[in-house]
Structures are given as C-alpha cells and as structure tokens.
Amino acid sequence: MSTEPFKNVRLLPQTNQLLGLYTIIRDKNTARPNFVFYADRIIRLLVEEGLNYLPVQSAEVETITGEKFEGCDFLGKICGVSIVRAGESMEQGLRDCCRSVRIGKILIQRDEETAQPKLFFEKLPADIANRFVFLLDPMLATGGSAIMATDVLIKRGVKPERIIFLNLVCSKDGVDKYHAAFPDVKIVTGAIDKGLDDNKYLRPGLGDFGDRYYCM
C-alpha cells in the first residue's frame, strides 16, 4: 500500500522477502519458535530503517591503505522506550544495531471499568529529553496506548520530532488518530492493514503479538 496519504509514515519496501516474512507471522498455524524468529527479522529491518532518520554530520577517516574516506557520524544520543509487554520484544533488535543503548519502559493497560488506556508505570532515562527516542510497540490499532505513551515522553521533555515510532503492523485508523495528536512523530512500519474489526483488532492482522511471541 502506498504511504502517500500518510504524512510522516515510512513503510518498508514491500519486497518479496518482506511479504514472505509477513506471510509466516500472519499464519495462524505458525508455531511460536518460527513466529519469534521471523518477527525478529522484521524488527531488525524496522530498526535499520529508523536509524536512517537520525541526523548526521560529515566525518573523514583514514583507511588501512592510507586513503581518506568521507563518511558521516550520527549526531546525538538515542534510547529505546518499549510499551510493555509486546514492545519489549523489539528491544533486542535495537540492541543488536546500537551497542549499549539505553532502554526505558512504559506500562499501559486498559481500565476494565472505562475501557480506556491507563498509565500504570514508567521508567525512563533521566536525560531522555536530550535523546532521540525509538518508541517500540509491534501493533498500532486504535492508537490509544501509543498516544498515551507519546504524551508521557513529551511531558518528560522529548520533542515530537525526535521520536521515531517503530511498529510491525498499523491501521489507517490508528495512524490518523495518532498523527492527529502528534503530527511531527515519524512512524516506521512494515505493513498498513485495511482496518479494524468490531472488536478493534487489526484486519487481517496477526493476532495478539505478545501472546504469540511470549506464550503460544
């Protein structure tokens, strides 16, 4: 699906390799070990793409042959913030690409009385306002949890344009709602599903990501 209608959404190139990975993790018959393995591959691709949107400066080094090479250095420090629990599945993919990266956590659960998201816990780096933040959550359905988590980051001093939200699957409804609140946050995703069902689950979706990654 084209991302032209979506400002600040970066969709991974829909190659045969990527579609093959999604075919495996969407299949209800995929066993947990295979689900984890192939989901991790997608997560790594998302992290690599997200890193492309960090600012850089020119840098010159000398190679072992004595030649000069004009390259670049990243500017600024980064951290990851996972929306517990499913977002924790994406932490290792970030660590694989960024050595010694700091990780924060935000726990949001649905209030059974109001059916609205409720903040239960946050643990973030003390200097998070000075970092670029990768917000980690595999699914963006209604956008409620992601909006609350982003609001927590902004209240801690993080500028919206320094937040990159990584997720495996999102819906147009979720993107629209999220960007209505935070138009300057970049979303990097691998799939944009056609919508939500009556229970607010993604369609075609892939089920409860956390359950399939950790339990099934």
Helix axis angle, 144-155 to 172-181, nearest 10°: 20
Answer for the pair 165, 145: CB distance below 8 angstroms, yes or no.
Answer: no
Contact 160, 7 (CB under 8 A): no
Name the DSSP class of 215. Answer: T
Catalytic residue IDs: 110, 114, 208, 211
Q: For 13-162, where are the E strands, in sequence order? A: 56-62, 68-74, 77-84, 102-110, 117-123, 131-136, 139-140
**Residues 6 or more apart whose Cβ sits within 8 Å of residue 74:** 51, 54, 55, 56
Question: Given the DSSP bridges, would you call strands 195-196 and 186-189 parallel, antiparallel or unpaired?
Answer: unpaired
Residues 6+ apart with CB under 8 A from 82: 88, 90, 91, 103, 104, 105, 106, 136, 137
DSSP label of 211 = H
